[in-house]
Amino acid sequence: MEPRLVTEAAEPGQPNEDFTAATTDAMVVLDGATTPAGQPTGCRHGAAWYARTLGSLFLAAISPSHPLTGALAEAIDNVTTLHRGTCDLSHPGTPSATVAAARIQAGVMEHLVLGDCTVLLDRHRVGPLAVSDDRLGTIVQDKSVQGARAALHALPAGSPEHSGAYRELAEALAAHRNRPGGFWVASTDPRAAAEALTGTIPVSELSAVALLSDGAARLADRFGLAGWPIIAALLAAHGPAEVIRRTRAAEDSDPDGSRWPRAKPHDDATVAYWPLGPP
Ligand SMILES: [Zn+2]
């Protein structure tokens, strides 16, 4: 069976900064980091361009001779070359993206996750295992970041004050990005690929694998409305669009973020789902 991909922008008509693509033996999901409105980035292309360009180059670089980390490093290098001449890539706001990928080769599923995307391995008998990189969550415990987050979450989503607080949170986080002891995402430095979490599992042990951007993982990891076993069952029974539909329904039930404080009422949401059949 082949991968099934669904991606949806946070708001209709706005650019989708998530990206997903697949071949018959690999699939990728990327989530471009949103830049708060009015904040300079040094890049004329933007987060959506960065995510789709890096994602396309990454998928193209996946080959039998390459581990996924090598393909990702090559793709980061190539996207950097593409806009080095036109953009200031040393700017702290330069585009970045979180990344998840899975590929099958010789009966083995290899996965990669860099940043807060999730790889969901739905295993026969033992059930689903969600793999995500929680280093960003650790950084959120930092005092400056905690202060910025508390200020953000005390304000109603969509207000000008909320936008200002969001900008301050982004700046506090940027101080920890792609630094030893901080958190790692794809941006301009190919060495970030070596920081990705990776693993392998025989395909015969899996009923499915899914890649989710953080906007699609909210039901489980932010809202607590469904555990990963329920998400895995939803995917198997109804496909990836149903997970996004339920995420939007939950967000719409809490438009100002009073139940679930969050930076954005909706986020771009993406699920790449690869059913692998019975044991
Ligand atoms: Zn650029």
Give the pTM. 0.91
In the CATH scheme, what is the homologous superfamily, with its name and number, of domain 4-133+184-275? PPM-type phosphatase domain (3.60.40.10)
CA of 159 to the centre of ligand 1 (A): 29
Question: Ligand 1 centroid vs 89 CA: distance in angstroms?
Answer: 8
Q: What is the pLDDT of residue 135?
A: 87
Distance 124 CA to ligand 1 centre (A): 43
34 CA distance to ligand 1 middle (Å)? 14
pLDDT digits (tens, 9 = 90+) for 94-105: 999 999 999 999
pLDDT at 21: 98
pLDDT at residue 203 in the model: 97
Q: Beta strands 127-132 and 269-275: pairing type?
A: unpaired
CA of 18 to the centre of ligand 1 (A): 17
**How far, in Å, is the centroid of ligand 1 from the Cα of 80?**
8
pLDDT for 239: 96
Distance of CA 163 from the midpoint of ligand 1 (Å): 24
Q: Which pLDDT score, from 0 to 100, does residue 256 have?
A: 86
- Interval between CA 75 and ligand 1 midpoint (Å): 15
Domain boundaries, the chain: 4-133+184-275, 142-180
What is the 43 CA–ligand 1 centroid distance (Å)?
4
Question: What separation in Å is there between the alpha carbon of 105 and the centre of ligand 1?
Answer: 34
Compute the distance from residue 205 Cα to the ligand 1 centre, in Å.
42
pLDDT at 170: 78
Residue type, 84: R
| pLDDT for res 17 | 96
Report how far ligand 1's centroid is from the alpha carbon of 123 (Å): 40
pLDDT in tens, 32-72: 998 777 778 999 999 999 999 999 999 999 999 899 999 99
236 C-alpha to ligand 1 centroid (Å): 39
- The confidence score (pLDDT) of residue 106 equals 95
Long-range (24+ apart) CB contacts under 8 A made by 114-117 are: 114/72, 114/184, 114/185, 114/186, 114/192, 114/193, 114/195, 114/196, 114/197, 115/31, 115/183, 115/184, 115/185, 115/186, 116/31, 116/214, 117/29, 117/30, 117/31, 117/211, 117/212, 117/213, 117/214, 117/217
Q: Tell me the C-alpha to C-alpha distance, in Å, between residue 268 and each of 17, 114, 175, 190, 252.
A: 7, 18, 24, 25, 14
Distance 33 CA to ligand 1 centre (A): 14
Give the residues of the chain that fall short of pLDDT 50.
Answer: none
pLDDT at 71: 98
Whole-number Å distance, alpha carbon 65 to ligand 1 midpoint, is 30
For a pLDDT cut of 70, what percent of the chain falls above it?
Answer: 100
